A = this chain, B = another copy of it.
Amino acid sequence: QELRCQCIQTQSDFISPKFIAKVLIIPEGAHCNRKEIIVTLKDEKLICLDPEAEWVMDIIKKIV
């Protein structure tokens, strides 16, 4: 179980779903006072997304 926030900064620029291999959503909790959305790209890069950016929810809806 992570004991702190995972993201130091978040990216708000759009990322096309075709580059996304995984989306990890971590609700806020005792370990971190903000929700975090971390995508793993197909090139294995990890990027923290801005949970407030509208396109983020759109992408999640598209994937699910």
Write out the residue numbers on chain B whose beta carbons fall within 8 Å of the beta carbon of A23. Answer: 24-26
Q: How far does the Cβ of A23 sit from chain B's closest Cβ, in whole Å?
A: 4
Consensus secondary structure, chain A interface: mixed
- List the number of copies, as a whole number: 2
Give Cα distance in the complex from A22 to B23, angstroms.
10
- Chain A residue total in the interface (Cβ 8 A): 22
Give Cα distance in the complex from A1 to B51, angstroms.
24
Closest to A56 in B: B64
Question: Which residues between 23 and 42 of chain A lie within 8 Å of chain B, taking CB atoms?
Answer: 23-27, 29, 35, 37, 42
Q: A residues bordering B, Cβ < 8 Å?
A: 1, 17, 20-27, 29, 35, 37, 42, 44, 51, 56-57, 60-61, 63-64
